[in-house]
Structure 1
Amino acid sequence: MAVLLQRPVDNPERLAAVRATGLLDAEEAPGLRRLTRLAARLLGVPTALVSLVLDDRQVFASQLGLPQRWAELGQTPMTHSFCQHVVDGDQPLVVTDARTNPLVRDNRAIDEIGVIAYAGMPIRVDGRVLGAFCAIDSAPRSWSEQELAILEDLAAAVASEIQLVRAAQHAEATSALVRRILEVSQDAYVSIDADGRVLEWNPAAEQLFGWSRDEAVGVDLSRLVVPEQHRDAHRRGLERVRNSGTSRLAGTRLELPAVDRRGRDFPVELTLQATDTAGGRPVFHAFLHDISARRAAEEQLRRQAELIDAAPAAIIVRDPDGTIRFWNRGAERMYGWPAGAVTGRNIHRLLSTAFPKPLPEVERALQETGSWEGELVHRRSDGQVVVALSRHVSRPSADGTGYEIIETNTDITDRRRAELAREQSERRFRVQFHQSTIGQVIVGLDGDILHVNDAYARMVGRSAAELRGYGVVLLTHPEDRAGDTEALAGLFAGEGDAYERTKRLVHADGHVVDVQTGVRLIRDADGHPQHLIGVVQDITEQVRARRERDAAVTVLAERNAQLHRANQLKLDLMGMLSHDIGTPLTAILGFGEMLCEAELPEPLGTLTARIVAAGHRIDELRHNVLAMCQLDAGELTTVRQPVALAAALRDAADAADTTVPISCPPGVTVLANPAHLRQIVVNFLTNARKYGGGATAVTVAVEGREVEIGVHDEGPGVPEQLRAHLFERYTRAADAAAEGHGLGLHIVVSLARANGGRVAYRPAEPTGSVFALRLEIG
């Protein structure tokens, strides 16, 4: 079987990256506009495009030279796209004459746009090909390597411009305290020849360096932008490239010092590409932008970090949404996470922060007062819990677009752990002692009660206050006191730490309470007895239940014997129905049907037909009784087989002595036991005759892998209050005039389930009922 491979152009991750550029519906980016015009100028072509390729169309992020219709649309369908082949092939596409090229000769762009010669370079961003930067000619053309190299360099510049556009979209979300990312609108583009003389100088270069294009073109670049102390190194580098023919810096991103017309020194970030002219001499293309602000921000961050790292507490700078922007060494020590691993992550999720109050209240306090202080619970990298005394201060962010939060956290885990341990111990004791459902009592060595919980007090019918100072022996049944004394003597003698025994207490109203007691002797550090703790559980109901259980065993045994006899009677009945009645009934039906076919004179023919109909009714009742017996015994099973549905429905209609239109598509088969299928449909038809004035139609509908058989009538329908219980045993309408016991539909449900199907009822419109059986298609 052939496997359809996904085309790279349809890759969901690639498509998401294309949409993430933000260029599909945006105005033409100035940087891209200059690059397309530069490509047209350098390559001498009428048309240049920055094409972002989707799965159904290509969108021109920048364009030059398209016919007016396509220029206004700013996009074409895939039927007009050469650039899709650049994406699919993940490599450049060079076409000398599209009319003879097997790959594109059927492309509609040839006739409608005039694409004859084509050269397209992949636009790669983050390792994905988003589209193509292409040059188009309206006549056949052989593309030189130099032209292709220029186009490739410009494609790299396009990718850089796309990255800058995308970076600008996310610039607001970054923090000035961790890093400063310049808001870059355009890059300066400078092109020089092998001697270092300027060939191209775009408007951004004019703005960055202060020299106009007319002033710069033809001038040695080192005199315009290279600080004097670096000019010799610049010239030596050019000489090395001229001699070797290669540039070690081509294709890399560099940070270099620069100088503008006013003599201001500043750092720039530069991307360099080198191409060869027709004469073999290299041409260099550079894209530059000022990184002074970023350098200053980095230096500021470095100074701040040095000061903050000296603090012993954890100092964290984060965005209002919890994104960590700064993490000092104190935070590294306190939480075990290095700064490089946490920067950019959410502090609350990282540390599983638990606030003493809802987070919205903390945020509201920061907004209203500018600060918040309280205890937080954090989790370290090793899973240990840290309790921190935390102070949050809100201040405007460095870029002025929002605000940031400075957290100062001091570890108070040991102090809080000791306090919590004491509180938890006291709370556990109070909860366990006073709220326990089992009676508990603390007794002094003199036998008087010191403390008692409510469960014990209720057990003996007194209040807890009344029992304090009361002699515990007075609550014990007189016949059980000697046993308590003997057991206590063993505790004091060191024969054990505790004992358990069953005894009786005396309730305040005089009745006896059976209890299970556990008593433990508490000693001090020196081993001297201090007091007794007793745990007392009321087992009165358990004792009573044991007595009642023993009494019920005899009754249960007798009832089991009765059930056994009844079950044997049921088995005998099933045997009688199956053989003793089934055999003669089969003969009656067989001979009766033969007589019906013999065309007897009236009234013998009518009487014979009534005999056959009555026989079928008896046979239906016999099958229902057998099914009910099997249901009660849990023995209703079946073997399904393919059944031709149309013939089976006609057979069921004959068995029900019913003439009804049957609508069944030819050739439909279902998986079922034929006898069960017939019994279900006969039941539906019989019920329609009893309660609905007779069936008006039998329909068959195929839905996927299922077949629905519907029996329709136009009677009064099933009362709404009865529908929820319609298929339950013994369900009948209170005013039903027809005979029946309410078992037929219950049997039908079980037969349907045994055959892997299900039944349902729905009211017909405007009146009547539809009883439906769904079975698996055969």
Structure 2
Amino acid sequence: MTSPLRILLLEDNSTDAELIQDLLETDGLFFEITRVQTRVEFEGALNNVAIDLILADYQLPSFDGLSALNLALRTHPNLPFIFVSGTLGEEVAVEALKIGATDYVLKTSLSRLVPSMRRALREAGQRTERRKAEEALRRSEMTLAEAQRLSHTGSFGWDVLSGEINWSDETCRIFGCAPGTKPTTDLVVERTHPDDRMLLRKMIDRTSIVRAAFTTERRLMMPDGVIKHVRVVAHPAASDNPESVLFIGAITDITSRKRAEETLQEQANLLNLTHDAIFVHDLNEIITYWNRGAEKLYGWTGEQAKGQNAFNLLKPAFPAPLEEITSELLQTGHWEGEVVHTRKDHARLTVESRWSLQRDAQGTPVAVLVTNSDIGDRKLAERERERLRQLEADLARINRVSMMGELAASLAHEIKQPITAAALKAQACGRWLSHAMPDVTRAREVAGEMITDVMRAGAIIDRVRSLYARSAPQWELIDINEIIREMTALLRDLAIRNAVSIRTELAVGIPSTTADRVQVQQVLMNLMINGIEAMKDSGGELTVVSDRTEDHQLLISVSDSGIGLPANECEHIFDAFFTTKPQGAGMGLSISRRIIESHGGRLWASPNSGRGATFRFTLPGKAMQSSRHAV
């Protein structure tokens, strides 16, 4: 069902209003009438009622038709307005039409009213459609102009035979002309760079003959000497005039791109001097530059690599998702990390890759500069260093384990004492509990002593086990005097069996130091065992001294009265595999020196003035600040 025609009727005569309504009904119109009589009612209807057409009497007691017409034109300029009056003269009617009325109908000729309304509504509809089309065209032209401005691309039409040219505002701007400038062939030639004008004229002559699409790049020179690079694309278009050859084309200002390419080429010439593999790819990963370093590293020549997709060519394996890498590159302009690539011979290699985002003068990303360094040798060296570190750690552990045989008797003696004591106390405890009147108090006391003896045996076992267990260094504050006492107790039985006494001189108040307890125990045990073995045929005294140096380091010395050092070999005894023992491996002193050096100290030896030798080592007197590693 169609919507009714909405009519605003300005009429103070009820009879005339009914007559108009009956006429419209008789003619079969589907309508709704809003009748008003005063200025206030008329203005209220204009502001609040939907209206398709206005019918107005010319003369009212308190209002007049011309005033109503002016009010309607101000608020609804496109609304059909028809005077329906019995007093409208010809001059007044003509004046009303000039002001903006659509038509006038005398009440004595109401038969004209419906045809006049139909014509007015039809013309209003046509005007509305025309306005919509014009508005759509205007918006389309604005959109096209804005798109051309943003993309630095203008459009043009060119009749090759007549030389007539039409161009867009953006094309006018690219040529550096004032808005509204009429383009001509002579103007285009004048704005072309002098070195390119001959080529332009040849292209014009060729196009007038061949009449085929063309694409070209050339330079423009502005009146102020500024040079622009443009890319022109055009193709022939259909024309109603058989005497014309019309071309439609687009011209793009590519100055920024050309300058970026020139900059990259200058960089490329310098980059060919480096040994790094360097290439450039656009945002579609298409390679545009490939230096000699890349040729050498990957095996493809520049001609083979250019135009290829970088990812398809090198088959990279990234350390993180590519989306994260791309996001970081766009945000910061840089990215670096280790990437695995595939060479032309299908070999895989690891490179240290550094990416740099290249932008044009407007800041738009245009390409990525990639610099890759082969780190395969470095990776191999790192693995070799790690293997050597592990080998040293294993040798240190083997050295500790080899000491266990020499300590077996001492360990048996130390562990046997608390276990035997615990067993005797257990028997006594049993007797006190088996009496007719159990002595619970005595039994409880002895049970507590048993616990102490067992825990002592366990502590001895744990202390010895830590010496040869495979574990990472544990850095902590240690009391060097406490460690000397532990090693003295542990080695006392071994010393007695070799007719050696152990004497200690421990300085009071020396500070703690940060060290790995087990490694320091290993060094001290190694030096003390060496001293005991040096005196096993003659007996003697082993002296262990703790002190402080003038620069506040801890100084520990182990002196014996044994066979002494080999002549002129005070330093060689610390070389790996150097030994004076028939069954020695020559690793103990070498490992000990490495341990002390890793702690920031120094280990050395010197002969005594009489018999024997003294080994000394230092440790920092406070927590170390440098990095530490296992030996």
TM-score higher than 0.5 here? no
More helix by share: 2
More relative contact order, 1 or 2 (CA 8 Å, 6+ apart): 2
